[in-house]
Amino acid sequence: MDLSIVISLYNEEESLPDLLSWINRALNDSHLEYEVILIDDGSTDSSWSVVQSLHEMYPEIIRGIRFIRNYGKSAALFCGFEAARGEIIVTMDADLQDSPEEIPALIEMIRSGKYDLVSGWKKKRKDNIFAKNIPSKIYNATARRVTGIKLHDMNCGLKAYRNEVVKNIEVYGEMHRYIPYLAKNAGFTRIGEKVVKHQPRMFGKSKFGMSRFVNGFLDLLSLWFLTRFGKKPMHFFGLIGSLTFFIGAMISLYLIINKVVTQSQGLAYRAVTDQPLFYISLVALIIGMQLFLAGFIGELISRNSSERNIYKIKSTL
């Protein structure tokens, strides 16, 4: 199969028929063998009924997966990637803001052999400038700085991948925002970008509020830390803990030596426990030991971690 289109959806009953019709029109003359995988992420409206109807209309094209509850976009994409059979995988949103007409050009960029992954860039966004546009620019600037990937729109839902890419990355938590970074860390470094059209929302409202930018930044820090130290936590906690413990030990040694020397010379001296440095050294010793133990426990956990993608599928088509 040439192409798999993976679409995560949540309460998109109104947009789905138009979306599938648009995809069919966009790919009608492409001579591609393709499938569309619709992952219903626990919708509370009649989205699954619409997916079933579309499957009956296009049984060779439409495949459906339904979660028993809302697990989030990352779990939906992870499940869709597992089910995808195409040589090239394309992801897009279900709200009609991503144009299927961009898909052939994305495919050509992948097939050229220059890219493992091509991300869309919504250069002219059809969103509120204060609610999304400005925060998005700040967020993407931070992401470029931390990840080293020069993408203008890291979180664009419209992306194309070689099959090997999606089969070798693990999308969990809220890490769907950083799939290019996950791909880079997995060894797929040929990452490109294409300017795509961004359509105004026609139905419903965005499922993500302003909190996504704060959460996105925290997720970025988590991903950076896990990438650097996820498999070697002792290198982070152990190093800082050892340095802290060493500083505390040196302060304590200084206080003891200072008291012994002063006392041997018959001079007046203060008890070690009466000096503020004593308590600073004590805190440093305790914190250093705790950090070292945190690194040690982290090493044990990293070698016995269980699956992080845990989801329950209610039904499939």
pLDDT one-digit tens code per residue, 115-152:
999 999 988 876 665 556 677 788 888 888 888 899 99
What's the pLDDT at 204?
61
Q: What is the DSSP string of 52-106?
A: HHHHHH-TTTEEEEEESS---HHHHHHHHHHH--SSEEEEEESSS-B-GGGHHHH
What's the pLDDT at 11?
94
What's the pLDDT at 128?
61
Task: Label the pairing between strands 313-316 and 117-121.
Answer: unpaired
What's the pLDDT at 303?
67
**Structural class in CATH, domain 3-229:** alpha beta
What's the pLDDT at 224?
77
Instruction: Give the residues of the chain that fall short of pLDDT 50.
Output: 307
Domain boundaries, the chain: 3-229, 234-302
Tens-place pLDDT, residues 245-262: 999 999 999 998 988 888
Give me the sheet containing 191-195, strands edge to edge: 191-195, 117-121, 159-162, 88-93, 3-9, 34-40, 62-67, 313-316
What's the pLDDT at 289?
95
The answer to whether the pTM exceeds 0.85 is no
Task: Label the pairing between strands 159-162 and 88-93.
Answer: antiparallel
